[in-house]
Structure 1
Amino acid sequence: MSNTDDSEISAQTPDWSREKPRRFWDPSRKLLRSIRGYQALGAHSSPLSRIKQKWWVLQHKFWSVITQAEIPLNCRIEGGLMLPHPNGVVIHPEARIGSNCLIMQQVTIGTREGGGGLPSIQGHVDIGAGARILGNVRIGEHSLIGANAVVTKDVPPHSIAVGVPARVKPRRN
């Protein structure tokens, strides 16, 4: 989880430097770069734009295999997302993820069995390894989701959700 003080990381203003690849082999950031590149060309319909989109699709497929993450090209992720260990991360294409979030490995963000809505994660939420956020839930800004927690109910801002099913506790500074 993050050791950074809440006052240093914004829940609204994306910190794009968190997504910038830092070296040649940086799979999680290159996966995010392929998503951003594809989405940036979405409104363009010129032949060159279509060729560039195909390049980003190819890049996305490559980095998805390398990272073993299922993050669709059309997902709704605001800037500043960090995926330190992207292995096994699954995000529903219509789930919303706010600015400057942190998602650890083996996290699932999606619908519950039988439908029932999609999660909306606000800005600067840290999600621990193996957590599941399922159904029509809202995770408030500056919240923490503990490792292996199963969240099926709303989490207010500045809270911690832990356990199966997740219990919500106020976050102490």
Structure 2
Amino acid sequence: MTASESPAVSATEPDWSRESREGKGWSSGRSLLAAIRDYQAARGPLAWLLRASAVIRHRFWSVVTGADIPLNARIGGGLLIPHPNGIVIHPDSPIGPNCLIFQQVTIGAAAGGIPTIGGHVDIGAGARVLGPVVIGDHARIGANAVVLSDVPAGRTAVGIPARIVGEDRGNT
């Protein structure tokens, strides 16, 4: 593999190293995700204590980031939120593995439904994904796009309202 080539990012198998906080310094997005993961993973006789700790950390990091990502959000592994400021995610909206979500993104309910985000989807800053839409695997949503209809796998959506542009991105 040459330096210009990069390995394909999976739309089905989460890459948990993307969420790792070790050696990364200040990372409010990773810390917020860690609180959510800890809350969802709490089991056993001390689950109430582990969940209470996760809730406190989640509230702290939610205030620091200004993000509204519920503790019961359905988020696949390997999510990257490098700038979590202002991100809003509906608790019932499933997000596939290895996605990338930038600041000020809203994934929310409208028209009686919620979005479904596929695996390895990149969502640009300020984008809005609203209503009962399906975003296919390996799709990209441009910055400030307002997505109100489905985006096929491997395609790019831009504009207000969003329209499909460019070539199929395939599974890279």
Query: What is the TM-score of this pair, normalised by structure 1?
Result: 0.90
1:126 to 116, 119, 122: 122
* Cα root mean square deviation, aligned: 1.7
Q: Could you tell me which residue of structure 2 aligns to residue 40 of structure 1?
A: 41
Structure 2: distance between partners of 1:49 and 1:101: 28
Q: Residue 32 of structure 2 corresponds to which residue in structure 1?
A: 31
> How many Å separate the matches in 1 of 2:155 and 2:132?
18
Task: Report the Cα offset of residue 45 of structure 1.
Answer: 5.6
Contact 1:90 1:106 in 2 (8 A): yes
Question: In structure 2, do the counterparts of structure 1 residues 118 and 14 end up closer, same or farther at CA, with 3 Å as the change threshold?
Answer: same
Structure 1 contact 158–170 (Cα < 8 Å) conserved: no
Gaps of 5+ in 1: none
In 2, Cα distance between the equivalents of 1:126 and 1:51?
35
The size of the alignment, in residue pairs, is: 165
Query: Quick one: distance in 2 between partners of 1:134 and 1:14?
Result: 25
CA distance in 1, matches of 2:152, 2:79: 20
Partner residue in 2 for 1:167: 163
* Structure 1 equivalent of residue 18 of structure 2: 18
Identity within the alignment, %: 56
User: Helix, strand or coil: the match of 1:87?
Assistant: coil
Name the residue aligned to 2:107: 109
Give the counterpart of 1:81 among 66, 79, 82: 79
1:6–1:142 Cα contact (<8 Å) kept: no
From the superposition, tell whether residues 79 and 172 of structure 1 become closer, same or farther in structure 2 (CA, over 3 Å).
same
- The alignment partner of 1:97 has SS state of coil
Q: Deviations over 1:59-115 (max 9, x none)?
A: 100111111100000000000000010000000000010000000000000112xx4
**Pick aligned residue for 1:141 from 120, 137, 140:** 137
**Could you report, residue by residue, the CA deviation over 1:123-165 in whole angstroms, capped at 9, with x for unpaired residues?**
0000000000000000000011000000010000010000000
Unaligned 5+ segments in structure 2 are none
User: CA 1:6/1:161 → structure 2, altered by over 3 Å: closer, same or farther?
Assistant: farther
What TM-score does the superposition give when structure 2 sets the normalisation length?
0.91
1-side partners of 2:154 and 2:11: how far apart? 11
